[in-house]
Each structure stands twice: as C-alpha cells, then as structure tokens.
C-alpha cells in the first residue's frame, strides 16, 4: 500500500488481515505493525477497515495493545476515538441481541469486541474520549448528533441501557 493513496475500506481490511497474520507469526515487529496501522488509520475508511479486522478477529493485538500501537492510535485522534465509541455501542447492543436469540457464540464475539473497545478507549486521548462519550450519552437521551446513529440501528430501551452502562464503565476506569 502506498502512503500517498488512502486505502478503501475493503483494501484496508485486506491489509490489516495480512499484517495481523504476519504479526501473529512474528514476521513483523510491534513497531513495523504500528507504522503500517498508522497509514491505515490516517483515513476514515482505512481506520474502519483496520478496526473491523482487529476488533472482531482472532488475532490478540487488541488484547495486548503494544505501547507503539497505543501511541499510533492516540496520534490518529478523533476518528479513532469516534470509531471506538461507535464500535463499543454496536457491540454492546449486538451482544444483547445475540443473547436474546440464544446465539451464545455470536454473543461472545460481540462481548469480545466490547471488551476490546473498552480497553482501547481507556488508553486513547482522555479529552477526546470524554467528549465523544458525552455525545453518545446525549444521543441515548434523545439529544444531539448521535440520535441518527442510534436510530439507524433501531436499538431498544434495554440495548440503550446496556450502551449507557458500557459508557459508564469507561468513565469509571480511567476517563
């Protein structure tokens, strides 16, 4: 991937998957991976593609969060925070949906994404995280910019309560 061209969503997913495989196989270091991730998260589609693979996949990257990766993600700023908060909300709501349907395997996958988002939000830029979480809480209260985001997914009252609890879990443990 050229650093001059922003990757599309699909290309970013492919790159992230390949780089995570190489990292798991110890073919590339934390530092090299962080440099490549920095290229992806420099664009919105690149960041979306990276997070789809890193948050939901089996690679343990988001469970370990190497310091160089944390630095890279903090430097990426508001887009990374926004995507992390949105992924927190969506995975929390989906975990509940899967549990209701009796699909424990899917519920566990959503809970893993939720946990990874919580861990990530605890190490990103505190001011940006606080601001974005407050915006989500406003949306849960039918105010502000996140009303459309929440309405698009049709979350019910119980899902919204679960999302609020997830937001408070971030706040109570570091922000």
Task: Please report which helix (H) or strand (E) contains residue 108, including its range.
Answer: helix 104-121
Total domains in the chain come to 2
3 band by pLDDT with thresholds 50, 70 and 90: very low
pLDDT in tens, 117-161: 999 999 999 999 999 999 999 999 999 999 999 999 999 999 999
pLDDT recorded at residue 6: 80
Q: How many Å apart are CA 89 and CA 55, to the nearest integer?
A: 13
Whether 113 and 147 share a structural domain: yes
- The pLDDT value recorded for residue 173 is 63
Question: Do 111 and 151 belong to one domain?
Answer: yes
Predicted pLDDT of residue 2: 43
Of residues 13, 10, 36, the one with CA closest to residue 23: 36
Please indicate, yes or no, if residue 72 is contained in any of the structural domains. no
pLDDT reported for residue 9: 95
- The answer to whether residue 71 scores a pLDDT higher than 60 is yes
pLDDT at 86 over 70: yes
Task: Give a yes or no: residue 62 inside a domain.
Answer: no
Asked if residue 68 is part of any domain, the answer here is no
C-beta neighbour count of 114 within 10 angstroms:
24
**For residue 65, is it within any domain?**
no
Domain span including residue 167: 77-174
Question: What pLDDT is recorded for position 172?
Answer: 75
Task: Provide the mean pLDDT of the chain.
Answer: 94
Using alpha carbons, select from 45, 51, 53, 44 the residue that is nearest to residue 22.
Answer: 53
Q: Are residues 169 and 93 in the same domain?
A: yes
Contacts of 153 by beta carbon, 8 Å cutoff, 6+ apart = 90, 93
Q: What is the DSSP string of 128-174?
A: HHHHHHHHHHHHHTT-STHHHHHHHHT--HHHHHHHHHHHHHHHHTT
| Same-domain pairing of 91 and 129 | yes
Q: Could you tell me the CA-to-CA distances from 78 to 10, 103, 126 in Å, in that order?
A: 22, 34, 11
Are residue 41 and residue 84 in the same domain, yes or no? no
Greater pLDDT, 99 or 2: 99
């Amino acid at each position: 991937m050229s650093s001059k061209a922003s990757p599309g969503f699909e290309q970013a997913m492919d790159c992230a998957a390949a780089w995570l495989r190489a990292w798991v196989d110890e073919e590339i270091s934390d530092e090299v991976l962080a440099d490549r991730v920095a290229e992806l998260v420099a664009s919105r589609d690149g960041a979306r593609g990276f997070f789809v693979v890193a948050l939901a996949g089996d690679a343990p990257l988001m469970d370990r969060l190497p310091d160089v990766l944390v630095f890279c993600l903090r430097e990426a700023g508001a887009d990374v925070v926004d995507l992390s908060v949105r992924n927190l909300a969506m995975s929390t709501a989906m975990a509940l949906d899967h549990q209701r349907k009796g699909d424990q395997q899917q519920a566990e996958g959503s809970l893993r994404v939720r946990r990874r988002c919580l861990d990530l939000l605890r190490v990103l830029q505190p001011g940006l995280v606080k601001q974005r979480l407050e915006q989500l809480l406003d949306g849960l209260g039918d105010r502000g910019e996140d009303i459309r985001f929440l309405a698009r997914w049709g979350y019910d009252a119980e899902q919204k309560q679960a999302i609020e609890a997830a937001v408070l879990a971030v706040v109570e443990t570091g922000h």
